[in-house]
Amino acid sequence: GQGVASGNTVYPAGTAVSAGVRVMKDVPTFALDNSLGSTGLASGKLMRFSVTADSHGNGVGIANFALKIASSTGVSVTNLTIYAYQNSNYTNPVGGVQGSGDVESVDQCASNNCTSGQVIPITVTNAAGTPTPLEISPGQTVYFEVDASLSGVVSGSSVTTTLVGSSSFPSTAATATQNPLKTAGSLPNTELIWSPNTNGISALTDQDWTNGYGVPGLPSGGLIQTRSQ
């Protein structure tokens, strides 16, 4: 390269190789919300977090979340789900999902206790139960609450909830000149699945979906919140 002020030309040397970069039209930023506090487990409210879309793109679509639950001995966790709200008071549900703000039409572990440590997919559906991405407009923040039905909760009981992240970009055979993104259905539902809405709102069948790798605020080990009684 050539210096703007000096005019000197600097030539590359060595054998270092860059891993490269991936540029997205829009990116979500995740943040853990600690407003629930660390106690009060019996309420069934397990975790809160927010997702903000960058203001410079087309917003982002979210097709799938993934959770892991670890409960103390004797605590049963059923009817696990995520609710989405427009406000930080968690009182105004978003549209496009269930009227209550529940992002799925059928809650997970409805008839059996959630297996501790198992990754549990939470696929976003509309009121009719059809998989439909939850859209977050440019600059908008959506607030999410993980809820469940709990039994066996006594003093000292605890539940740790993890919103699962990703440790690597989805495997792809794309070359440097090809689209490295995938359709939503070709990605594992054991991770976050989201779209940068490259050409406007992306359908699930568009090649415009990826996982949680590199998403700001969502580490590879996930977002973690523990509540006790």
Q: What is the mean pLDDT of each run of 10 residues along the chain (229 residues)?
A: 72 62 87 98 99 97 98 96 98 95 96 92 96 98 98 98 95 59 92 96 96 97 98
User: Is residue 22 in a domain?
Assistant: no
**pLDDT tens-digit readout, 132-159:** 999 999 999 999 999 999 999 999 999 9
User: Is residue 74 in a domain?
Assistant: yes
Give the alpha-carbon dihedral of 189, 132, 218, 150, to 10 degrees: -70
Query: Can you give the residue range of the structural domain that contains 97?
Result: 28-228
**pLDDT tens-digit readout, 152-193:** 999 999 999 999 999 998 876 555 555 558 899 999 999 999
Tell me the whole-structure pTM to 2 decimals: 0.88
User: Is residue 1 in a domain?
Assistant: no
User: Is residue 23 in a domain?
Assistant: no
Residues constituting the chain: 229
| Backbone dihedral angles phi then psi of residue 82, each to the nearest 5 degrees | -125, 135
So what's the pLDDT on residue 220? 96
User: Is residue 210 in a domain?
Assistant: yes
Q: How many domains does the chain have?
A: 1
User: Is residue 65 in a domain?
Assistant: yes
Question: What span, in angstroms and rounded, lies between the C-alpha atoms of 174 and 187?
Answer: 15
So what's the pLDDT on residue 105? 94
User: Is residue 66 in a domain?
Assistant: yes
So what's the pLDDT on residue 172? 66
With CA atoms as reference, report the closest residue to 135 among 197, 182, 208.
197
- For residue 198, give the DSSP letter: B
Question: What span, in angstroms and rounded, lies between the C-alpha atoms of 144 and 131?
Answer: 18
With CA atoms as reference, report the closest residue to 136 among 28, 47, 42.
28
User: Is residue 6 in a domain?
Assistant: no
